[in-house]
């Protein structure tokens, strides 16, 4: 499977809220550098899986709308909007944040990520 397809499958699935599903996409030595409106984070695999569990607890559902998905030399860039529905108000969908991520893959799994996000 091409790197672009792997990244697309990640964001089209519920892996951002499902740590067991997310684990299938992550290389054991993954590292994500995340610049957000709240500061900088460097996350490893365990921290990413814990974040997925936290999102599952906090939101009834979520979906990703991909604006751009580009691949060059096995490196994939994805720009997307992450929508969520809260447990308190599952009928109203809201934008959680806007994201852009550059992914490097190794052995068919996400290996290095460089992410920027802005809360809505």
In order of 15, 41, 73, the CA distances from 48 in angstroms are: 11, 11, 25
Residue 120 pLDDT > 90: no
The residue-averaged pLDDT of 3-11 equals 98
Collapsing DSSP states into helix, strand and coil, what is residue 48? helix
Say if CB 117 and CB 34 are below 8 A apart: yes
Query: Two tokens at 98?
Result: 């806007």
**C-alpha 92: how far from its chain's center?**
22
The residue-averaged pLDDT of 77-103 equals 97
Q: How many Cβ atoms sit within 10 Å of the Cβ of residue 1?
A: 9
Domains of the chain: 3-119 (3.10.450.50)
């Amino acid at each position: 499977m091409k790197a672009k397809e792997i990244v697309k499958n990640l964001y089209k699935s519920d892996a951002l809220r499902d740590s067991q599903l997310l684990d299938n996409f992550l290389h054991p030595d993954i590292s994500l550098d995340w610049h957000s409106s709240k500061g900088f984070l460097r996350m490893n695999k365990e921290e990413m899986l814990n974040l997925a569990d936290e999102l599952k607890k906090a939101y009834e559902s979520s979906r990703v709308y991909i604006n751009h998905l580009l691949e060059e030399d096995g490196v994939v860039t994805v720009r997307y909007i992450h929508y969520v529905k809260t447990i308190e108000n599952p009928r109203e969908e809201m934008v959680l944040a806007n994201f852009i991520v550059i992914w490097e893959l190794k052995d068919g799994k996400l290996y290095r990520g460089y992410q920027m996000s802005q809360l809505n």
